[in-house]
Amino acid sequence: MKIRKLYKSEKTVISFEIFPPDCEEKFSRLNNEITVLSSYTPAFFSLTCGASGKKNSYSKNILERLNTHVKTDIMPHFTCISCSKSEIDSRIEFLKSQKIENILALRGDFPENTNEICKEFCHANELVEYLKTKTDFSIAVAGYPEGHIESPSIKKDIENLKKKIDAGADAIFTQMFFINNKFFSYLENLENAGINVPVIAGIMPVISAKQLDKMTQLARITVPSALKDKIQTHAADKNYIKNLGIEFSTAQCKELLENKIKGLHFFTLNRAYSTSKILDNIL
């Protein structure tokens, strides 16, 4: 089902993000994790393109295989910063051949080799606009409750988001966040800016101190001091951190559900355990 219709439901929609495995062993392991996650009847799985802006991280083979193995819809991430118009057109035709209905349109990470940066599509709104002329995809875009790390202010970031919505995007999927009040304030700011499409909350359970440190270096994310203190104190205790992450995200999701948000989108890191425990607690 296209996301432009999916989020008209009064019930909060559950979905999961996965990333493409880079070997057969990891693909087999991911299939096992997907089997567990599928028992929660998600609306779809989103499939990332990988990191560092590498062109070869977009794997047609992985999407084809997931379409064969997974009964649930797949929403591929669709990046543009390293792609020419002809490469975009080729990707569009491939996704059409796979009967894809939904995509997440992103600028993407800058490539490690700056010579690979293409000037035809510099921003996600340009990609959205082009896709609207070429396809009937339902298009989601990214939002940042605390502002994109490259943006000088939350106001400027929302101005850029408005360009993506005005270009034809149907929904906003947020970056992970830990403080719900920042998300609720973000919703108010979007409404004041005339943005009225569904906003889907991005949830990433903490599974390790290293994972959290990496994410907060790459993005503008505030970690509550109480959570940060516990993680720092027990950083070496993997089971403690994992259970703490489940406990924290459970409370976070319960509050979001009480406020009748449109959707919860879990960044699973290709691991079902924490997300499945959270869903057991909230559903």
Q: For residue 242, give every residue at least 6 positions away whose Cβ sits within 8 Å of its Cβ, in sequence order, or none.
A: 206, 207, 208, 273, 274
118 is written with which tokens? 């293409």
Nearest to 227 by CA among 213, 272, 38: 213
Which pair of tokens denotes residue 265?
Answer: 């989108």
The structure tokens listed for 221 are 């994310």
- What value, to the nearest 5°, has the Cα angle with vertex 188 and ends 136 and 267? 60
Q: How far apart are the first and last CA of the chain?
A: 22
Candidate list 17, 33, 129, 146, residue with the active-site label? 17
User: What's the burial of 16, exposed, middle or buried (CB within 10 Å: 0-12/13-18/19+)?
Assistant: buried
Q: How far apart are CA 31 and CA 273, in angstroms?
A: 14
Instruction: Assess contact for 167 and 134: CB atoms under 8 A.
Output: no
Q: Is 17 a catalytic residue?
A: yes
Q: What is the residue-wise DSSP string for 212-260?
A: HHHHHHHS--PPPHHHHHHHHHTTT-HHHHHHHHHHHHHHHHHHHHHTT
Residues known to be catalytic: 17
